[in-house]
Structure 1
């Protein structure tokens, strides 16, 4: 029932989904075209991912540990992206830009050293689920930020405060089934990344 309400709410989210996807694509293009200009910043971000990968290398079952770490990391961060959108949507927008830049930078570098087919094998199997999940999470974060921004002006507009409270309550209610949907989607993505993607690029 709650999932049905969430999917119905998705129809009201079109502009936020489009905005979130556009920001992510812009970051991706920046990562490809500005790889030299932003290389230092992106390399710094990649160190965290490298540390995540290195922690599982010496484990007895690295694929299982990789699955657990990827899943927990993605779920925790996705929920943070949603709720920290309350701070005027700054965090989810920043996350979309940075993640897009990282993906564009890595894809460009791997395509130069290997091939675009190698890039596709490393991204598409799990990315086809993981990337939309992150975009959806950030879109809801942006929505919360936009509602808060409207709330700032509510003392000056009659009736706006009541509408803002209603929107905020409704959006928070939607984040509960959203958390369940994101968890399931990222569980599948982590399973694919730690098995299929791991095997394809090994």
Structure 2
């Protein structure tokens, strides 16, 4: 159970206590104060937890510059953003893949802390269809911070590892990143570019 869910539960209990306390004149003032605190805790706990889910389809994302691809696609490749691009805090990373490729595609970012952060939206893996893939990618660093944006192919075992890792981080509300040696053996790097944040993204997500 995450800290924010616990805060929400405590808020509910404080409000219940208030309903009983206001019936007694000697403790009504204390009860009202605790009730206000309970309401504030409920608001915080609700809006910062999964109890309120915003539709990822209306998530505001931007796109970077696009690489022009000509000829047949022989490998998984990122086409947007492009190498050395400056990007917003939340972007749609897009690419292409050979339609014969059946592996999952994952975007991992590596900021200056030298740790790896798998990116996902509500589908976890990158969305694939008709030789094109995409996934929402989020950055949390300072303005001008450099990131390696790395594309991995992953087999089913590696893909499950990335998905479960994201779920654990989300549950704990703590995103420590992965060390290079922690990346699953069933994942293979297939493309990499360097990008920079064009605004301060710290604390945005």
Question: Structure 2 length as normaliser, TM-score?
Answer: 0.25
Q: Which has the higher contact order (CA 8 A, sep 6+)?
A: 1
Bigger Rg, structure 1 or 2? 2
Question: Structure 1 length as normaliser, TM-score?
Answer: 0.25
Q: Which has the higher helix share?
A: 1
